[in-house]
Structure 1
């Protein structure tokens, strides 16, 4: 009889403990759903860009911008970016890698959005040693359309504001990389009889130069003189983008400035 009572006591105790554990688990689960706490987990994107910095053992070139950086007009598809890469490989005793992120037709607002929203681009900015960029021409000029300076000037102010944000964001992500902005040239010299377009292009370049002076690692590379009165020799068949020789001249100037 005593053994039976003892057995039932054990069974009741186990049942009570099991019930309490179940109630605790159920309440804890409800709290987790209704009042979720913070997590120390990071998203894959956050982990991907964590603690990345340029390496001294290699050169990573990131190209940003529009068709001029993409190399449109160059039959070899090298563009000035490819010229810079080849020349650096010859001069530097380390591997040189290229990360091309230029898009034909890009404007400053599109490039800014691209930098702010694309985690892969932001990661590459962090690891780059050298950033090459052309942007702004599509904000003010469109190939095949009539050149209206008043309209171009209206577009210049917001384009410059976007460019300031682009430089600021790049510098925030990577304050060590050299940032090269390739200045605009005037491909319309054949129709620019009064020099109005040339003066406007120089005005844009002057404003961009002011932006670059605010960053120790930024450098403005002028190209206007490389094409002035030589557009037939250095422009492609579209009479807007450089040809192979034109891009070669730009690339050589960039490397000379870096050296």
Structure 2
């Protein structure tokens, strides 16, 4: 496989030290996933108080949207559901975080995680960027495959930690998207890397009940108008579309 060093140097210069994430979610099998049984809407339901913990990188923080990004949008959508009386959000997102750093975030906020009905996660973009910086002139597809396996192992460990604190919370992971426009779009391997990374994350979540992988990659394909001025993070509309994917998946998981 050919090396991509020079072309990806353009990527690195254009994107600076920003973070990424997110991807496509229409044909995702749902196994035994979804909101906890205590949130199932019965005929004589009483609206519930919902607790959300959001962890991850700049997409969780909402960089690029002064209104709070997709986490805030998901909250607003849930508030419109007849089965929800209130939504409390603890947003622990921080720009630049990688998968290996989330364990520490979770452990420091154990009490919040224990009370959560939903855990929202965006992670992985900074892990990809770290690979690019570390192997700038020696990048191959096989290298990304190798590093993705390490990422998947860490992701599995993160899910195990969350489950040890909270057995029933719905864990939602938003996949990666490809924000890179010409000339990088001319390299098919870039898209292949993102697809491979997402598939690996989807496979990890498939091993656990009450989990949802939200693929939004297709939302951003050839859609520079959905990106913030840094041409990297989503803008307000981009976050709205991520939130819509997340919300629709949550609704499907609530169906009996």
Give the TM-score band, short-chain normalised.
0.7 to 0.9
* Structure 2 counterpart SS, 1:141: helix
Displacement of 1:229: 1.1
Q: Which residue does 1:113 correspond to in 2?
A: 104
Aligned residue in 2 for 1:86: 76
What is the alpha-carbon root mean square deviation over aligned residues? 2.3
After TM superposition, give the deviation of residue 101 of structure 1 in Å: 0.7
State the 1:136 CA deviation: 1.3
Preserved contact between residue 92 and residue 105 of structure 2 (Cα < 8 Å): no
Contact 1:132 1:181 in 2 (8 A): yes
Corresponding residue number in structure 1 for 2:204: 211
Answer whether contact 2:148 2:200 (CA < 8 A) is retained: no
Q: Distance in 2 between matches of 1:69 and 1:197?
A: 23
1:98 matched residue in structure 2: 89
C-alpha displacement of 1:186: 0.5
Structure 1 residues 71 and 221: alpha-carbon distance in aligned structure 2, compared to 1, 3 A threshold:
same
Q: CA deviation at 1:159?
A: 1.8
Instruction: Deviation per CA, 1:122-151: give whole Å up to 9, x if none.
Output: 111110001100111101116x96694555
Q: CA deviation at 1:155?
A: 3.1
Match of 2:5 in 1: none
CA separation in 1, counterparts of 2:222 and 2:99?
A: 28
Q: Which residue of 1 aligns with 2:220?
A: 227
* 1:228-243 → structure 2 map (5 Å cutoff): 228-230=221-223, 232-243=224-235
CA contact (8 A) 1:140 1:153 kept: no
Q: In the alignment, which residue of structure 1 is the partner of 2:111?
A: 123
TM-score by length of 2: 0.73
Kept in 2, the 8 Å contact 1:55–1:127? The answer is: no
3-state SS of paired residue (1:59): strand
Secondary structure at 2:186 match in 1: coil
1:254 counterpart residue number? 246
- Residues 52-99 of structure 1: CA distance to partner in whole angstroms, max 9, x if unpaired? x998631011000111111111133x2010000000011144110110
Q: Deviations over 1:13-65 (max 9, x none)?
A: xxxxxxxxxxxxxxxxxxxxxxxxxxxxxxxxxxxxxxxx9986310110001
Unaligned runs of 5+ in 1: 1-52
2: distance between equivalents of 1:160 and 1:238? 28
Equivalent residue of 1:64, what SS? strand
- The one of the two structures with greater contact order (alpha-carbon pairs below 8 A, sep at least 6) is 2
SS at match of 1:96: strand
TM-score, scaled to structure 1 = 0.72
Unaligned runs of 5+ in 2: 1-35, 40-47, 252-256
| CA 149–141 in structure 1, closer or farther in 2 if over 3 Å, else same | farther
Q: Look up the match of 1:15.
A: none
Q: Paired residue for 1:48?
A: none
- CA separation in 2, counterparts of 1:241 and 1:103? 14
